[in-house]
Chain A
Amino acid sequence: MAMNRRDALKSFVLMMGGTMVGANVLLTGCSPENQIVGLEFSPEDISFLDEVGEAIIPATDTPGAKAVGIGQFMVMMVKETYSGEQQESFVSGLNMIKTDFKKVNGSKFMEATQEERTAYLNELNQKAMTSEDNEPKVIGMLKDLTILGYFTSEIGATQQLRYVEAPGRFDGCADYKKGDRAYAL
């Protein structure tokens, strides 16, 4: 199973040509069944994912997703928690975004402004949410991993949210003012 997926992905990547995410698919060690063997991401892939994450959760008065190393986090999660099928959707989806973004905006994603990137990803998200099978699935994955990675990061939990390790007491009816930050878990 794992072998077939690897071969399928490899040919897919080669077919698309250019600098493709997942192009480093190699025969390395063993991984669980139902996952792509040797799925690797290049430093360029990680920078790309950092910018995707930053377009979803940007720096404001607090740091954004890039500052928490969202690219690294995403590839780790994709490698370790995604099934082979999900990995395929993720990798092919990123390749699609690269090509499609250029088609729509006339420039490469990495060379565009953050406003352009955010606008494009929003479009894609709307498309996925209104399509019957949530295609392209990659946008839901990017959103999920960015939110998870950001709000559970040290910056997200302690600067963007309020982190209280040992509250020491329980108040089930505490006052809340609109704008107060949520407590991190």
Chain B
Amino acid sequence: MANQSYDAIVVGSGISGGWAAKELTEKGLKVLLLERGPNVEHVKDYKTATTPPWEIPHRGRRTVEMIENHPNLKRDYVLNELNLDWWAHESDSPYIEKKPFTWFRGYQVGGRSLLWGRQSYRLSDIDFNANLKEGIAVDWPVRYKDLAPWYSYVEKFAGISGNKDGLALLPDGEFQPPMDLNCVEKDVAERIKNYYKGARLMTIGRVANLTQPLEGRVQCQYRNKCWLGCPFGGYFSTQSSTLPAAMKTGNLTLRPMSIVTRLIYDKDSKKATGVEVLDSETNQTVEYDAKIVFLCASAFNSTAILMRTATDIWPEGLGSSSGELGHNVMDHHFRLGANGTMEGYEDKYLFGRRPNGIYIPRFRNVEGEQPRDYIRGFGYQGGASRSGWSRNVAEINFGAPMKEALSEPGPWSMGITAFGEILPYHENTIKLSATEKDKWGLSILEMDAEIKDNEKKMRVDMMNDAVEMLEAAGMKNVKGFDAGYTFGQGIHEMGTARMGRDPKTSVLNGNNQVWDAKNVFVTDGAAMTSAAAQNPSLTYMALTARAVSFAVEEMKKGNL
């Protein structure tokens, strides 16, 4: 029997895959969207989205059983009784940590678009030029002007709220009205601006939460429960945004429970002819044909699929002729900064739970500033708030006094956390294990990555600058903190199939096309040539929409 045939296959249904499916179907292509995990239907499957606190069994605390069953997830906030099924369980999907590595994945329709932090920033030419200027890794094959129209395009559809700050290193976008800073944040922002004479800026986060409605979606209701799925469609996810658009075309077939094991590669045409799928429920293998394939399976899984493809020609897989497949693993290193308390403002409070915080764009190693003993930089995220009943009131006695004291809001405090750029080091790698397999018989990944001297030196500034800024802002009891960082913990894994200008040193060209199979595109984090310090998802959206436009033009010209 002939394989089922589509114009295009998209592997993965998260932020990048959702965009690929939307763009391809809207351009008239018949698309098969493959997702390794189960379906999650918009609203209907957001099982805990409106659960009141008193119906949450352990009130958000972890059970001993959860901790014992999830040795990896327990390393961070992701282990939570409210959405435990949305984070891939290490028992089903293990990996090997040659060096400590945290890999948090979302294996369901929507992937991590359901779970993401929604901070949405453009990269700029300070980022795209950096590798070339500093002789690091390889040059990005694109510049800001290539991506700018695509950033605008995806921002308008996704719905990014933010403030236009007029900074060259953090270009403004097509924003919905910004969310407000609260009064303490406004005060701190003003004082930072004055203290650093405008060289440092604290602004409201640019976030994929609506402040105005979009088609089929209601503006943010300030519940701050995005990570449980939003019944209002208040934030961008595959479910709220790209999937309904793709479905509306009538051109989309969504197939959950479909693990793509490899691409089928034809060495005569030097193209992929389709994909091999392992049905995760039946363990049956099925093949689907397509004219083009978009790999959007999340950075490491897209690369793993390439590694399993065409191994008869290249033992290390499709794209390995560059010597870079699986190399240059990146993330953002963080978990350090400072916090302090703000006196006064006792007559002010917050109404509504804003799912967003402040952003302090990079100010180190920028034009006009003294260079540091490291290259690149970092930004800060955080916010101010009044404490609640969980604060420590050691001086107040049990009984009615404590009950009353804890029923009123406590003092204001503010914390900021730095997110720093990690350089693309060739020796930071992932590879398929030669011996270990998962329950479906697929070789699992082995992570071998670490931060080095540049990041470690940067971390000194990341904490000290935070302390200095909060003190300059008049905060009291300012304390720096460094909670330590394990590679991957930023949940911004990038690299391993980078874009470049030369097939000898990169896996993808400037249109995210695999040099060795021009009808295969990789548009998720794998494609990143450097990491910058900004949250990366908006860039994946822009790269994806741009690559689809290119691919469809090429198909029309008969080049694919």
Contacts and interface: CB of A to CB of B under 8 A. Distances in A.
B398 A125 contact: yes
Contacts of B350: 170-172, 174, 183
Q: Which 8 A-B pairs have the closest CB atoms?
A: A172-B182, A167-B352, A170-B352, A176-B349, A173-B183, A171-B351, A152-B53, A151-B389
A155 to B, nearest CB: 8
B180 A170 contact: yes
A12 interface: no
Contacts of B181: 172
Interface residues of B, number: 49
A102 to B, nearest CB: 20
Given A168-B352, A172-B183, A174-B348, 8 more contacts: A32-B64, A32-B65, A164-B352, A172-B350, A179-B408, A180-B408, A181-B408, A183-B409
B454 interface: no
Interface stretch (B54-62, B263-271, B417-425): B54-62
A182 B386 CA distance: 9
Contact of A183 (B351, B390, B404): B351
Interface in A130-185: 143, 147-149, 151-154, 157, 160-161, 163-185
Contacts of B351: 164, 167, 169-171, 174, 183
A34 interface: yes
Contacts of A174: 348-351
Interface of B: 50, 52-54, 56-59, 61-65, 68, 179-183, 185-186, 221-223, 346-354, 386, 388-390, 394, 397-400, 402-404, 406-409
A55 interface: yes
B52 A165 contact: yes
Contact of B223 (A80, A154, A165): A165
A56 interface: yes
B64 A154 contact: no
B26 to A, nearest CB: 32
Nearest to A87: B64
B507 to A, nearest CB: 43
Nearest to A114: B399
A166 B64 contact: no
A149 B59 contact: yes
26 contacts: A31-B65, A34-B68, A55-B399, A57-B398, A60-B403, A76-B57, A80-B64, A118-B399, A129-B394, A148-B59, A148-B61, A148-B390, A154-B54, A157-B53, A160-B403, A161-B389, A161-B407, A165-B223, A167-B223, A170-B179, A170-B354, A172-B180, A175-B347, A181-B408, A182-B386, A183-B350
Residue picked from B349, B397, B409, most chain A C-beta under 10 Å:
B349
A24 interface: no
Contacts of A56: 398-399, 402
Main secondary structure of the interface of B (DSSP, over half): loop
A175 B346 CA distance: 9
A121 interface: yes
A122 interface: yes
A182 B65 contact: no
A112 to B, nearest CB: 14
Contacts of A48: none
B51 to A, nearest CB: 10
Contacts of A118: 397-399
Max chain B Cβ within 10 angstroms of own Cβ: one of A33, A77, A170: A170
A182 B407 contact: yes
Nearest to A161: B407
A45 to B, nearest CB: 20
Nearest to B354: A170
Given A80-B65, A151-B406, A182-B389, A175 B223 contact: no
A185 B59 contact: no
Interface string A59-96: 01000100000000000110011110000000000000
B52 A154 contact: yes
B388 A185 contact: yes
Contact of B53 (A164, A171, A185): A185
B52 A170 contact: no
Contacts of A64: 403
Contacts of A151: 389-390, 406
Nearest to A121: B398
A167 B400 contact: no
Contact of B68 (A33, A77, A143): A33
Contact of A176 (B221, B222, B404, B409): B409
A49 B535 CA distance: 47
Contacts of A160: 403, 407
Nearest to B399: A118
A38 interface: no
Contact of B62 (A57, A81, A176, A178): A81
A35 B52 CA distance: 29
Q: Which of B65, B183, B351, B404 has the most CB of A within 10 A?
A: B351
B348 A176 contact: yes
B53 A35 contact: no
Nearest to A171: B351
A176 B411 CA distance: 12
Contact of A80 (B54, B63, B353): B63
Nearest to B383: A172
Contacts of B390: 147-148, 151
A126 to B, nearest CB: 9
